[in-house]
Amino acid sequence: MPMLSDPSKRYTPFQPVPLPNRQWPDKQNSKPPIWLSTDLRDGNQSLANPMSNEQKMRFFRHLVQIGFKEIEVSYPAASDSDFAFCRELQYGGEVPDDVWIQVLTPARADLIKRTFEAVAGLKNVIIHMYNATSCIFREVVFNNNREQTIQLAVEHTKLVRELAEQYAASHGTNFRYEYSPETFSQTETEYAVEVCEAVKKNWLGGKASVWADGRKEERIIFNLPATVEVCTPNCFADQVELFCRSISEREKCIISLHTHNDRGCAVAAAELGCMAGADRIEGTVLGNGERTGNVDLVTLAMNLYSQGTHPQLDFSDLFSVVDTVVECTGLPVHPRHPYAGELVFTAFSGSHQDAIKKGFEAQAARERKGDVRWNLPYLPIDPADVGCTYEAVIRVNSQSGKGGIAYIVKQAMALDLPRRMQISFYRVIQIRSETSGKEMTTKDITTAFRQTYHLGGSVYDGRIVLKSFTTMDLRTPAESIPSTPDLSPSEPRPHSRMASLSLSAGRPEASPSPDRTAHDNLNPAPKRLTAKVLVDGKLRDIAGEGNGPLSCFLDALNADLGIQLSIREYTEHAVGAGSDVKAATYVELIPPEADSRDKTRGGFWGVGVDSDITASGLKAVLSAANGYLDDKKIEIQDV
């Protein structure tokens, strides 16, 4: 088997700058940095097929919409289309007054001149000039010593200054200047400071600039790139802190970071770099860029957001951002991409689902009391904040548990299953998902639910269908005495002393009467129930007695159809509100032959939903009874 070769012979460990009294580890990022999007420059230059100007325009508009105030739009001297894009922005009047257009140029006179031609007439422009300063670039790429490298930067800074003054006067443009000691993180930090000092001296020249709008701009942007990420983020933060402490006139410098992701730590490097004193971040939304990409601004912004700091970028519709990036760059977004990936708010595994479901319930309870602070297991932010619906939060496959399945039933059908029924239905879904080997969609789950509990119209009706019923109180009200119902654990609340319902048309004629049902529950009285039921398609009259409608109904099933079942568990809750309120009833029925194993495993669950609470209970009984008949393949007797 091939082995990785010995890396110690080939690779040299990074040598951190000594910074024994570093301050950044105790700092926190509690305000957003100035953001610059370089999607249209660094992002674009890394694509096999660079964006068309149409795509760039679409992307540009979206960046403005998100709230970027500084956007690097091109390397105008690179190509006619890069040049033309700047002109299109200008002619089209596309740039809002408060947005700064940034353009990149190397320290080459011809290319700097071309860059100014490209931006002529735009209102606010940042000219961004770069030259690499690290030892390997000095020696191998430029064949320059330290002094010559400084000279390259200084001479071309002077040219930028001269042209900026000219164009400000002739075109009314406001200029700012950004200088990047490219490969900063591989450059000796004290030398990078030396280069920047020389650049600053020649840009500011000891005086503030007064630009076309009369603004006095004294500040220069020093952009410190991790052109290639070569060290751990803490070492980068040390370099940034050392730079910030060493540069003179710190108040006249905006310290910007431009991290790449070669080691997968660009976000961490940018975050620690801000703790170390940086004011500004350059990156791309969703992290496209050279090699492993630029730092991902969505992740950085949403990380801040999750700590309670508004990033001043609007990612409330993150899916539309993903769409723009995918359509313009042609690159897919990983389903696990932080915040933006299709699966990042989704839990498949049972214990995660269980915790999330409980978390949502607890969160809703807190919110009802006015506490809206987000505190949910496994979900660092509310998915709704980035435009994600809760449907995506829990998805079911063979790794899922009862909690997640119950969550979906609750979301999709407004049915809040009792715990033991959740366990029972989980087994149904587990078998189906293992058989198919696939994810169970919400539709798969609700269909399985309707089939299992014979809910939802004729398609899934069971062998016995309730058509109508009448209940009658066998005692006068004067004879009523408060007592506990005989059903276990409790008799449901019958809805009236004399009720008659026809169920054939779907909606029953009677409506719930909460006061009387509560009263009846405390005053159970002998009752008689007669019902019309379809049994295997044949209409039958059945009748039974008991001290509540459900016990009457069970008595009728036993007496007239030979089906012997008793209630082990009963629960109910309201569904909806106002005049549309319905009752959902859940019963667990057990046959007399249930042995101890059956009892542990659970009996037969049923659910009924109706605007009449008695009808809902009777339907629940039939739902469970039909399950029992199917499972045990019972012949229905003609008693």
The two tokens of residue 364 are: 């809703």
180 binds, among ligand KIV, Mg ion, ligand ACO, none (CB under 5 to 8 A by kind): ligand KIV
Per-residue binder mask for ligand KIV (CB under 6 A), 220-259, x = binder: ---x-x-x------------------------------x-
Q: CB under 6 A: which stretch of 93-101, 105-113, 291-299, 308-316 binds ligand ACO? A: 105-113
Structure tokens at 102: 């940034």
Residue span 227-256 as binding mask against ligand ACO, x where in contact by CB under 6 A, dash where not: x-----------------------------
The 3-class secondary structure across 393-418, one letter per residue, is CECECCCCCHHHHHHHHHHHHCCCCC
- For the CB of residue 290, give the shortest distance to ligand KIV in the complex, in Å: 7
Residue 107 binds: one of ligand KIV, ligand ACO, Mg ion, none (C-beta under 5 to 8 A by kind): ligand ACO
State the nearest-atom distance from the C-beta of 441 to ligand ACO, in Å: 44
Q: Which stretch binds ligand KIV (CB under 6 A): 8-16, 219-227, 430-438, 540-548?
A: 219-227
- The neighbouring-strand residues paired with 530 are 470, 543
Tell me how far CA of residue 376 lies from CA of 309, 337, 351, 355, 363, in angstroms: 18, 20, 14, 8, 7
Three-state DSSP string of 243-271: HHHHCCCHHHEEEEEEEECCCCCHHHHHH
Nearer to ligand ACO, 84 or 423 (CB): 84
Decide: is 180 part of the binding site for ligand KIV (CB under 6 A).
Answer: yes
In angstroms, rounded to a whole number, what is the distance separating the alpha carbons of residues 344 and 295? 19
Residue 263 Cβ vs ligand ACO, minimum distance, rounded to whole Å? 17
CA–CA dist 317, 615 (Å, integer):
44
Residue 165 interacts with which of ligand KIV, Mg ion, ligand ACO, none, CB < 5 to 8 Å by class:
none
Closest CA to 194 of 217, 228, 156, 222: 222
Q: Of 119-138, which residues contact ligand ACO (CB under 6 A)?
A: 130-131
Q: Residue 106: which of ligand ACO, ligand KIV, Mg ion, none does it interact with, CB under 5 to 8 A by kind?
A: ligand ACO
Residues 175-194 that bind ligand ACO (CB under 6 A): 182
Least distance from Mg ion to the Cβ atom of residue 290, Å: 6
Selected binder of Mg ion within 37, 39, 40, 42 (CB under 5 A): 42
How far is it, in rounded angstroms, from Cα 463 to Cα 483? Answer: 35
Q: Is residue 560 close enough to count as binding Mg ion by CB under 5 A?
A: no
Would you say 190 and 223 are in contact if contact means Cβ atoms under 8 Å apart? no
Q: Interface with ligand ACO includes 75 (CB under 6 A)?
A: yes
Q: How far is the CB of 153 from ligand ACO (least distance, A)?
A: 9
Q: Which of 38/124 has CB closer to ligand ACO?
A: 38
d(CA 9, CA 511): 84
CA torsion 598-601-607-612 (nearest 10°) is 70
Residue 64's CB: how many other CB atoms inside 10 A?
17
Among positions 126-155, residues that touch ligand KIV (CB under 6 A) are: 130
Q: Write down the least CB distance from residue 387 to ligand ACO, Å.
A: 32
Q: Is residue 550 within 8 Å of residue 481, measured between CB atoms?
A: no
Nearer to ligand KIV, 187 or 422 (CB): 187
Strands 174-182 and 209-210: unpaired
Out of 42, 473, 491, 610, name the contact with ligand KIV by CB under 6 A: 42
Residue among 414, 446, 410 at smallest CA distance from 428: 446
Q: Which of 372, 375, 448, 366 is CA-nearest to residue 406?
A: 448
Q: Residue numbers of the site for ligand KIV (CB under 6 A)?
A: 42, 104, 130, 180, 182, 223, 225, 227, 258, 260
Q: Residue numbers of the site for ligand ACO (CB under 6 A)?
A: 42, 45, 75, 77-78, 106-108, 111, 130-131, 141-142, 182, 227, 290
